[in-house]
């Protein structure tokens, strides 16, 4: 099974590049430039993984993460940001993120993340 990945970022270049890289890893992708619209899209797409930018207009990624958790979407939720300090990591954990990636994200980090998601999907298919 190919992982379904939702990429949420207000930067069009990041959306296009991330989607292309993830398709190279055999992922099905959807992109969303609008934090306000991403939860509805997530319910329609039911992604296995959501890559969520923290710094977006209207709503930040922390707020969106709390809404995703409150909506009980069963997606792994990864913060993607240019900030890598301990305070940001702590805020991500408190908001409900499962992990953290620093921009620009190296291909090897994406490869490891997708491999982890695939292993989880394969394990759940065996049950």
Predicted local confidence at residue 1, as pLDDT: 83
Fold topology of 4-126: Rossmann fold (3.40.50)
pTM, entire model: 0.95
Provide the β-strand partners of residue 28: 4
CA distance 30 to 19: 7
What is the pLDDT at residue 55? Answer: 92
The domain segmentation of the chain, as residue ranges, is 4-126
Give pLDDT, residue 84.
Answer: 84
Residue-level pLDDT at 127:
67
Nearest-10 crossing angle of helices 61-70, 38-45: 40
Number of C-alpha atoms within 13 angstroms, CB side, residue 62? Answer: 10
Q: Which residues of the chain have pLDDT under 50?
A: none
Q: In this predicted structure, what is the pLDDT of residue 97?
A: 98
**Could you give phi then psi for residue 71, rounded to 5 degrees?**
-80, -5
- Return the half-sphere exposure (C-beta side, CA atoms, 13 A cut-off) of residue 68: 35
């Amino acid at each position: 099974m190919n992982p379904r990945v939702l990429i949420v970022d207000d930067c069009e270049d990041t959306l296009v590049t991330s989607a292309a890289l993830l398709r190279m890893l055999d992922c099905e992708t959807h992109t969303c430039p609008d934090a306000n619209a991403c939860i509805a899209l997530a319910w329609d797409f039911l992604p296995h993984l959501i890559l969520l930018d923290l710094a977006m207009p209207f709503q930040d990624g922390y707020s969106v993460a709390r809404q995703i958790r409150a909506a009980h979407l069963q997606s792994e939720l990864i913060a993607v940001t240019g900030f890598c300090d301990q305070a940001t990591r702590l805020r991500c954990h408190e908001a409900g993120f499962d992990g953290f990636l620093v921009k620009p994200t190296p291909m090897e980090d994406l490869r490891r993340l997708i491999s982890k998601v695939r292993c989880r999907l394969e394990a759940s298919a065996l049950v």
